[in-house]
Structure 1
Amino acid sequence: MQFAGKVALVTGGTDGIGRQIALQLQALGAQVIVTGRDPDRLSRARSEGMETICADLTGSAGVDAVLQTLSGRTIDVLVNNAGMGAAHDFRAGMPDPADDERTLWLNVHAPIRLIVGLMTALQARPEAMIVNVTSGLAIAPSAGAPVYCASKAAMRSYTQSLRAQLKATRVHVLEALPPLVDTAMTSERGGRKLSAQECARQIVAAMRANADEANVGMVRALKAINQVAPWAVRRIMIGF
């Protein structure tokens, strides 16, 4: 897909991977709309020429606000990037059910609701694209983040089914699977991290190529190993 003149909505587009995707799409000529919650980050996005929607997508009200704002508007690209993790590890203490609920809403319910709400607009375009950002942990889970892993695995499954449904239409479906990326969400994590800018570059390259998947960074190796020895991947990732 070529992005000059296209209208792209990037959820969670004021920080991290989403911000870098938004900036790179804008550099390619797209009119970019981003969602976010932080007033300062939203203001920065507006100063950079992006349209902004203040919305908390961890509940239905935020999704409704986005859909109401975009009602009747042209949308060519939907990037479901916004996501969060929840501490859900009984070895460290009792999980907070409210955090689990927010995680499931943001990572699963919100992107599906946005896809349903914007599908008519997307199908009306000569070409359109849906990008669902999942995770390498959608392939094999880690023990320490079961709710996050489950939410990303759910979106991976949904994305594959959606792609099959829309195969004969003008709406292309891409799944992006990042590795551990240097963002606010991973600030307390150690280990080797990919930069948000490089992660976004690989995702946008896959978008331009109309790829089905963007296996980013080390996820390429993970996916290759999983095809021949899934038991090995599960053993490695469960302790991640």
Structure 2
Amino acid sequence: MARYVVTGASSGIGREIALQLAARGHDVLALGRDRERLEDLTLRNRRIETRVLDLCDRAATIACGAKMAGDPIDGLINNAAIQHNVRFDDPHYDAGQIADEVDTNLVAPMLLSRLLLPKTPGRPFVIVNVGSALARYSKTTAAVYSATKAGLRMFSEALSVQHQAGAVKVVDVVLPLVDTPMTSGRGKDKVSAAYAAKEILRALEPGATRIHVGKARLLRLLEIIAPPAAAAIIRKL
């Protein structure tokens, strides 16, 4: 069995990923901001170890990543994300919120990926970057979130190119709207966090490079045959 690091494990998709990995017999190092919720994870399954970490804190993220780098880790699932679902010019949307979105959604995955990449050539390792359909088409709100997910997608592609001849695998996951605390009060026909987690874990299977979940599969088709229709659907989210 393998050992995986999962970010954003306090709730939502990250919590489900941690539980499903542990149920499959893997060891999990679950990172999150909510200590009580993380402690509940360890009670649910003894294979889950937790560490409190706020990915908005770059120094803490670097310190945590450096500490984990000495452990035998087989993969990193960059799941954590912040989305402020407002227009960029909203008077209540400030510089601190922008910085938090960028640090959590893009900078932290880059830092953790860099620190946890195996130092031994040829050692298998998988990086799963949990993205969004908003990486391809934006909407009238969440400009920074969309930009960070687009950056994460390109980061996945760049790492894949750099490691295409090696043992490191990088998988980009494209999610539809998922029923989590982040999306509370908006959207409809959302998929469950448990279903999203199950689909995300397909990234650990051999040959996976990009995974479209649920309705994001339809979006993939529309991108090819009718890009304006795909954009119109995303703008309604």
Instruction: Please classify the TM superposition score into its range, dividing by the shorter chain length.
Output: over 0.9
- Cα gap change, 1:92 to 1:68, in 2 (>3 Å): closer
Q: Which residue of 2 aligns with 1:97?
A: 95
Letter in 2 for 1:112: M
Letter in 2 for 1:239: K
CA contact (8 A) 1:87 1:95 kept: no
Matches within 5 A, 1:60-99: 60-89=58-87, 93-99=91-97
Matches within 5 A, 1:149-228: 149-228=146-225
Q: Which residue of 1 aligns with 2:107?
A: 109
Deviation at 1:125, TM superposition (A): 6.5
Deviation at 1:238, TM superposition (A): 2.5
Question: 2:90 and 2:103 mapped to 1: Cα distance?
Answer: 24
Residue number among 131, 145, 154 corresponding to 2:128 in the alignment: 131
Question: 1:176 and 1:167 mapped to 2: Cα distance?
Answer: 18
Moved more, 82-91 or 198-207: 82-91
> Where does the alignment leave 5 or more consecutive residues of structure 1 unmatched?
none
Deviation at 1:113, TM superposition (A): 0.6
Deviation at 1:92, TM superposition (A): 5.0
| 1:43-68 per-position Cα deviation (integer Å, ceiling 9, x unaligned) | 11222221111110012123123213
Letter in 2 for 1:149: S
Deviation at 1:115, TM superposition (A): 0.7
Question: 1:28 and 1:126 mapped to 2: Cα distance?
Answer: 22
Letter in 2 for 1:134: G
| 1:79-108 per-position Cα deviation (integer Å, ceiling 9, x unaligned) | 000111124415754421111110000000
Deviation at 1:133, TM superposition (A): 0.4
Letter in 2 for 1:156: R
CA contact (8 A) 2:88 2:142 kept: no
Q: CA RMSD in A?
A: 1.7
Q: Which residue of 1 aligns with 2:39?
A: 43
Deviation at 1:175, TM superposition (A): 0.7
Question: 1:40 and 1:65 mapped to 2: Cα distance?
Answer: 22
Question: 1:157 and 1:212 mapped to 2: Cα distance?
Answer: 13
CA contact (8 A) 1:174 1:210 kept: no
Question: 1:129 and 1:238 mapped to 2: Cα distance?
Answer: 32
| 1:143-172 per-position Cα deviation (integer Å, ceiling 9, x unaligned) | 111111111011111111111111111011
Q: Which residue of 1 aligns with 2:9?
A: 13
What is the SS of the residue equivalent to 2:199?
helix
CA contact (8 A) 1:76 1:125 kept: no
Residue 142 (str. 1) matches residue 131 (str. 2): no
What is the SS of the residue equivalent to 1:89?
coil
> Where does the alignment leave 5 or more consecutive residues of structure 2 unmatched?
none
Question: 2:170 and 2:116 mapped to 1: Cα distance?
Answer: 14
Deviation at 1:69, TM superposition (A): 2.8
Residue 233 (str. 1) matches residue 237 (str. 2): no
TM-score by structure 1 length? 0.92
Give the fraction of aligned pairs with identical amino acids, expressed as a percent: 36
Question: 1:67 and 1:205 mapped to 2: Cα distance?
Answer: 25
Moved more, 65-74 or 19-28: 65-74
- Cα gap change, 1:88 to 1:190, in 2 (>3 Å): closer
Deviation at 1:228, TM superposition (A): 2.1
CA contact (8 A) 1:177 1:214 kept: yes
| 1:169-223 per-position Cα deviation (integer Å, ceiling 9, x unaligned) | 1011111111110111111213111000001111112322431111000000001
Moved more, 227-236 or 194-203: 227-236
